[in-house]
Structure formats: structure tokens, C-alpha cells
């Protein structure tokens, strides 16, 4: 029997497998994540930790948990975990890849359509009474057919978005790591061509603040930006300036920095902007599958078996 701390209530029945295995579970019951101090305190005697992307797992926390064997992150990205510190301490780390690909790709297309067809403005006009009658020049938007979608990040989600965009009749161009297996176009060339730019890259030192003032200046003035990757890939001050000045026509963000955004954050004052509360994987099927994979990783690590989905 091992002691485990789980930093949020999990959807579905996956938790029952940990109970059936005889493990002692401490499950954080609140909607808000544990504070750093609470996270350290509740993990101190744990052998297994199942955490969320909102939980920072750093060297200090690991030092305070000498019995910890495995960290299972209920997410694909692991930028919330100090992977080097885990490796140095012999702690296995797992994630939940692949399972949220379709849900995130669907949301990306939803944001793309909502932004291109100006749906938030249309809904607002109905509620405010601005919609008086049908008019030939009222809230004209962009059709997707024959437009060029530029995808930055050529992994699973980027590929799934590409397939959906092609079904809408779009031309797709891609840009990945220059030294990767599918580098695609140089970034500047993609930005010059794309009517819509969609971000699907992981957060690394190379991609942090990738979308800055220079990046935005290379986009076409009618172009739209979609971000369903990580908030820190975008310099939000530069984006707010670009939207206000008309450097680009609009943006949709499912991820922000920080999360959640303060109600007075300057980005929320920018025009032609959609912000959603990190809904990329928010479907019943996907979240239950993520929980199941996270439990698979946790059980394997506690039993000394190789994790089915390790992070290296």
C-alpha cells in the first residue's frame, strides 16, 4: 500500500482502481488548486503524486517528499514540472499524450470559425438591440474555403487541425522545429502567406514569447491568430497593441498568461478578441480518458514498472 496525493477530484471511475489496489489516497477536495504551501505539505509523505498543469512541481517540493517515486501529470505538456530535478532524484514522470488531440483540434476549429464569422459580435448585437434588420454590410466576416491556414507546431494536435482545415477547403502550410523531422516552411514565409495562424507548439525556451511584436508585424493585416497551446507562447502586451493598432484583424486565445486572467488585464480591453477558459480538452470523454491514463502511470510507478506514458 502506498500513500498518494491527488491534487483534484478526477472525472470518471479511474480513482476506483487506485482504491482497489489498496493505496491510501489523499484527494484535494476544493475547486481551486492547493496553494504551494499546501501542495508541499500534502505531498511530504506521499509515494505517488497525481497532479494537474496548475501545480508547480519544483525541486523544493521534491526535496520535501523523500519517499516520492512517481509524478503523474494529467496533461500533455509538463512545463509545470522540473523534469531535471525529478530525473536527478530517480522520480518517474508520466503524462497523458494523444488522448486530447481531437478535443483540442475541435476547439481550435471552433475558435477559428467564431472569430472568422464574428460570432461574439453577432451575439452581442442581438442582446444589445444593435441588430435592427438584415443589412448587406452588417458584420461581414471571412470564409474558410480557399484561405491559407498556417500551423506552427507539427505534432499530433497540429496535424489533426490540418486535417480538419483541409476538409473545410483550406490550404495548409506548416512550420515546425528547424531541426525536427517536419520543419516545414521558415516562420517568416508562413506568416507572410497565412490568413489564419494557429499555434500548437510546446512551451520551451525557444517558444516562450514566440509571438512578439516582430512576429505580429510579419502577419497580414487581415490575418487572425489562434492559440490553443500555452499562454506564454504569446506576448499578450504585444498582441493587445497589434489588435488595437490593426496590425492583425483578430485573435482567439484558449490559453493565457496568467490563468485565469485578472478582470482588469489589458488584453481583455483589446478589440476583436475571443478568450476562453482553457477548454481545449474539456469534453467528458477526453477528461475521463486523461484521468485513466494518469492513473495508469501512477499505478505503474508505484509498482516499479515502466510507465506506459513516460516523460523523458
Which positions are catalytic?
230, 259, 278
Q: Which of 66, 53, 9, 58 is nearest to 37 (CA)?
A: 58
Q: Which of 199, 214, 195, 207 is nearest to 255 (CA)?
A: 199
| DSSP designation for 9 | P
Residues in contact with 1: Cβ distance below 8 Å, sequence separation at least 6, in sequence order: 22, 23, 24
Q: 280, 254 in Cβ contact below 8 A?
A: yes
Residue where the block lists cell 484521468: 291
Q: 108, 163 in Cβ contact below 8 A?
A: no
Classify 4 as helix, strand or coil: strand
Q: Distance between CA 224 and CA 114 in Å, rounded?
A: 11
Amino acid at each position: 500500500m502506498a500513500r498518494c496525493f491527488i491534487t483534484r477530484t478526477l472525472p470518471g471511475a479511474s480513482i476506483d482502481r487506485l482504491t482497489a489496489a489498496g493505496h491510501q489516497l489523499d484527494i484535494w477536495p476544493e475547486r481551486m488548486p492547493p496553494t504551494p504551501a499546501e501542495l508541499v505539505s500534502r505531498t511530504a509523505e506521499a509515494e505517488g503524486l497525481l497532479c494537474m498543469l496548475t501545480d508547480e512541481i519544483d525541486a523544493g517540493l521534491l526535496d520535501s517528499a523523500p519517499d516520492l517515486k512517481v509524478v503523474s501529470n494529467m496533461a500533455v505538456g509538463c512545463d509545470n514540472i522540473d523534469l531535471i530535478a525529478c530525473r536527478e532524484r530517480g522520480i518517474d514522470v508520466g503524462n497523458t499524450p494523444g488522448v486530447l488531440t481531437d478535443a483540442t483540434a475541435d476547439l481550435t476549429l471552433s475558435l477559428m470559425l467564431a472569430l472568422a464569422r464574428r460570432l461574439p459580435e453577432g451575439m452581442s448585437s442581438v442582446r444589445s438591440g444593435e441588430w435592427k434588420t438584415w443589412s448587406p454590410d452588417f458584420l461581414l466576416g471571412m470564409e474558410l474555403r480557399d484561405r491559407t491556414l498556417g500551423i506552427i507546431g507539427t505534432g499530433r494536435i497540429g496535424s489533426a487541425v490540418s486535417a480538419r482545415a483541409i476538409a473545410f477547403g483550406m490550404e495548409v502550410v506548416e512550420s515546425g522545429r528547424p531541426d525536427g523531422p517536419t520543419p516545414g516552411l521558415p516562420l517568416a514565409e508562413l506568416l507572410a502567406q497565412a490568413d489564419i495562424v494557429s499555434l500548437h507548439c510546446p512551451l520551451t525556451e525557444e517558444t516562450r514569447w514566440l509571438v512578439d511584436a516582430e512576429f505580429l508585424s510579419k502577419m497580414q493585416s487581415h490575418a487572425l491568430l489562434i492559440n490553443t497551446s500555452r499562454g506564454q507562447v504569446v506576448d499578450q502586451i504585444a498582441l493587445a497593441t497589434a489588435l488595437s493598432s490593426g496590425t492583425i484583424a483578430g485573435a482567439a486565445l484558449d490559453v493565457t498568461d496568467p490563468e485565469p486572467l485578472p478582470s482588469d488585464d489589458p488584453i481583455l480591453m483589446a478589440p476583436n478578441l475571443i478568450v476562453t477558459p482553457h477548454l481545449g480538452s474539456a469534453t467528458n470523454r477526453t477528461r475521463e480518458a486523461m484521468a485513466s491514463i494518469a492513473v495508469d502511470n501512477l499505478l505503474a510507478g508505484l509498482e516499479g514498472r515502466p510507465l506506459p506514458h513516460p516523460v523523458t
